[in-house]
Structure formats: structure tokens, C-alpha cells
Amino acid sequence: MSSAAPQIKKPLDIVVKFALSVFVGSFALIWGGMYLSRPDRSIPPYTVGAQAGPIVTTDVPRGTTDEEIESLVKRFRKVGHETRDFGRMKIHPTTEAGPGGRYRDIVIYVFDDHGWTDPEVLAKYLAGDAVVTKDYERSMRGYYRLQDQDEEGGLGTIPKKGSVAGNTRTLFKGLVTDPLPVEVETEQGISISPL
């Protein structure tokens, strides 16, 4: 019988411990940063193209569904009800500072073609250029309008002076002081969380 001496486990060197902690810590920082800076997937990605006074044009990617545009319009509504601070939605103030706030009057057009959000095209539309106006309104995918206490939002062309276009579907219309309906926002897309 041979007696084997018990093997003593040698502790890790301090340099190895430090390297392992840096390695694990860097992955934790990267994952944490990605998790905290993840995009809001409950609304489609959008950019603000042009702004002229209270009129703001936004652009969503081509192929954005009506349901996704509806969720964006409803998000504008939620901001209008809760804080009226559209700055966090990447929109510059639309009215002078005063008792009603810097976003007292705001009209947001939603397009899925970046060309319609160009400042020059918006200027032609606001000037009443007949060549631009018809196609501009036909290309509109959604809208949100907040004027003092009155708000309205929908899909399609924004109504003018009470007349509603055939492609318009009004989602809501009322006062910004009315309670918001309770809706569950579903998160779309792929989560980056490993859990």
C-alpha cells in the first residue's frame, strides 16, 4: 500500500485574481450599459425631420405598420397628458414660454418617407403650394394635434376644418385633461436581457 500525500491546492496568484475580476467586471459593465441604453421598443423608431413653429414632421421607417404608428401617436398623447414636455421626444419648443408651457400648441405629422420631412417641402406645404399639398397630405401616415386643451390623433391625413379625408381614422379626440384609457404597452422586438 502506498500512501499518497494529500495534495495541497495552491491559491491563485493576485495578478490572476485581478485579471479575472477585470474580465468579469468588463462584461458586467457592457451588459449593464446595453440594458440601460436599450431603445424603447414599444414605439417604432422615428426621427424629427423639420419644424416650423408648432408644425413638426416625423419620419418612421418604410414598412412601419398602422399599429406601430398608432402606438407612436398614442405615445405623443401620453406625453401631452402627463408632462407636455415633448423635448424628451426630440422636439424643440413650439410656442413661447408662458402659462400654458412651451408645447401649448403642437401639430405632429408622421410620414414613412424621409423626403416629406425635409424643411423645404414643409415650407412649400405651409405656403399652400398646390403641387406639393395633395401628395403631402396623401403621404401622411398619422398625426397628433394639441392646441391648448384640445387634442386629437389619428392615422392618415390630418382633418382640416372639420372635414375628414377618406384615408383618416381618428384614434382619439377630446381634452388633454380627460383621463387616459388604460392600455397595456407591449414591448416589441428582441430583448437583450439574458434572463
| pLDDT band, residue 120 (cuts 50/70/90) | very high
Number of domains the chain is built from: 2
**pTM score of the predicted model:** 0.73
**CB-based contact 155:65 (threshold 8 Å):** no
**pLDDT tens per residue across span 159-175:** 877 666 677 888 999 88
**CB-based contact 156:167 (threshold 8 Å):** yes
Amino acid residing at 43: I
Same domain, 96 and 157: yes
CA distance 136 to 121: 9
Same domain, 36 and 103: no
Our measurement of the distance from residue 94's CA atom to the centroid of its chain's CA atoms, rounded to an integer in Å, reads 18
Decide if pLDDT at 193 tops 50: no
Strand partners, 117: none
Q: What percent of the chain has pLDDT over 70?
A: 85
Same domain, 78 and 168: yes
Same domain, 165 and 74: yes
Same domain, 34 and 53: no
| pLDDT band, residue 191 (cuts 50/70/90) | very low
| pLDDT band, residue 39 (cuts 50/70/90) | low
Classify residue 60: in a domain, yes or no: yes
| pLDDT band, residue 60 (cuts 50/70/90) | very high
Decide if pLDDT at 101 tops 80: no
Domain holding 62, by residue range, is 47-175
Rounded to whole angstroms, what are the CA distances from 19 to 26, 31, 112? 11, 19, 49
